[in-house]
Amino acid sequence: MTERINKKYKQGLVSYTTALNDLADLTDEEFMVMNGLRMPNQTGLRGRRQAYNRFYRYNPREWLPNLVDWRKNGVLTPVRNQGKCGSCYAFGALGALEAYHKKRTGKLVNLSPQNIIDCTWRYGNNGCNGGFMVLVFRYAQSHGIIAESKYPYVFTARPFCKWRKADVVATNRGYFEIRDGDELGLKHAVAKYGPVVVGISGRQRSFRFYKSGIYSSNSCTESSHAVLIVGYGTHPTHGDYWIIKNSWGTRWGVKGYGYMARNKGNMCRVASMGSFPI
């Protein structure tokens, strides 16, 4: 598969390359577990939406920069590896919260995904069997989040929560959601507020072994994996792109980051389920 795609890249037929990485050692079933985005009960989510959330509003005519890259602003923690645990929702949401906390306080802190995995069951998440990003923001708003140094990641869910109020280092006042498929709204939020967590279609083998370039695929289906949008721009040959931070380690993509096609019909649902803390 990688040779076929790379040959197409050299022929100018695709805009990205692939290579074997650490995920090659996983079975397909183990890899599917890592796609841990799970939508909560729809009725329950709608019933609470007015109390907890509002959609992001913006001026569609407002000027926005052509290039935004939050990697250059010191608001992002290092790329991490979720391992064989469906915890992408925790890593993605905490990435947005880490950036928000840095912008608000000047302190960059690695927040604890284990805190989320162990302690958000009653909010509707399911530990290493998946969860939803806005539920992380609701929990953070109510309880606050502990630093990873105090609550280390162990690659599995534990039957007890070790949260202590005295250890809390970050919280948020609420969150905004981006309307489904609204790439202009997502661009506006990334430019004005900072990194935004989204839910993409991430089960494709071509995405599993993505190496470089601007990713696009006709094989994308439903949203299955949470990633952090940390910027956007335009390539002179391949067009508009989003910059994504993944949680599959630094051997995936460009040291853990990737580029996905922008303004191409919500490619791989990249502008779906977007949210960020406020």
Residue 49 predicted with pLDDT over 50: no
Query: Which one is predicted more confidently, 155 or 2?
Result: 155
Structure tokens given for 146? 């502990």
User: Which residue in 88, 119, 128, 220 is the catalytic one?
Assistant: 88
- Provide the terminal-to-terminal Cα distance of the chain, rounded to the nearest Å: 42
Predicted confidence at residue 53, as pLDDT, reads: 55
Whether this prediction's pTM lies above 0.85 is answered by yes
Query: Which one is predicted more confidently, 226 or 1?
Result: 226
Query: Which one is predicted more confidently, 189 or 159?
Result: 189
User: Which residue in 172, 225, 266, 268 is the catalytic one?
Assistant: 225
CA atoms of 116 and 135, how far apart (whole Å): 10
Res. 5 pLDDT band, cuts 50 70 90: very high
**CATH code that applies to domain 15-277:** 3.90.70.10
- DSSP designation for 155: S
- DSSP designation for 273: S
CA atoms of 39 and 112, how far apart (whole Å): 22
Residue 50 predicted with pLDDT over 70: no
Residue 86 predicted with pLDDT over 60: yes
pLDDT, one tens digit per residue, over 110-150 is: 999 999 999 999 999 999 999 999 999 999 999 999 999 99
CA atoms of 51 and 68, how far apart (whole Å): 32
Residue 42 predicted with pLDDT over 80: no
Torsion, Cα of 16, 22, 24, 28 (10° steps): -100
Mean pLDDT, range 166-174, rounded to an integer = 97
Tell me the Cα Rg of the chain.
18
Task: Give yes or no for a contact between 213 and 256, defined as CB atoms under 8 angstroms apart.
Answer: no
Residue 46 predicted with pLDDT over 50: no
Residue 268 predicted with pLDDT over 80: yes
Res. 47 pLDDT band, cuts 50 70 90: very low
Tell me the β-bridge partners of 177: 55, 275
Does 238 participate in catalysis according to the annotation? Answer: no
Residue 198 predicted with pLDDT over 90: yes
Does 115 participate in catalysis according to the annotation? Answer: no
CA 77, 258, 277, 222 torsion: positive or negative? negative
Residue 1 predicted with pLDDT over 90: no
Residue 41 predicted with pLDDT over 90: no
Mean pLDDT, range 41-53, rounded to an integer = 45
Read out DSSP for 62-96? S---S-EEGGGGT--PPP-B--SSB-HHHHHHHHH
Tell me the β-bridge partners of 242: 232, 260
Report the percentage of the chain scoring pLDDT > 70: 95
For residue 251, the SS3 value is coil
Res. 54 pLDDT band, cuts 50 70 90: confident
Does 81 participate in catalysis according to the annotation? Answer: no
User: Which residue in 115, 172, 246, 266 is the catalytic one?
Assistant: 246
Predicted confidence at residue 141, as pLDDT, reads: 97
Task: Give yes or no for a contact between 174 and 141, defined as CB atoms under 8 angstroms apart.
Answer: yes
Ordered by start, the domain boundaries in the chain are 15-277
Mean pLDDT, range 255-261, rounded to an integer = 98
CA atoms of 146 and 144, how far apart (whole Å): 7
Residue 44 predicted with pLDDT over 70: no
Mean pLDDT, range 29-44, rounded to an integer = 80
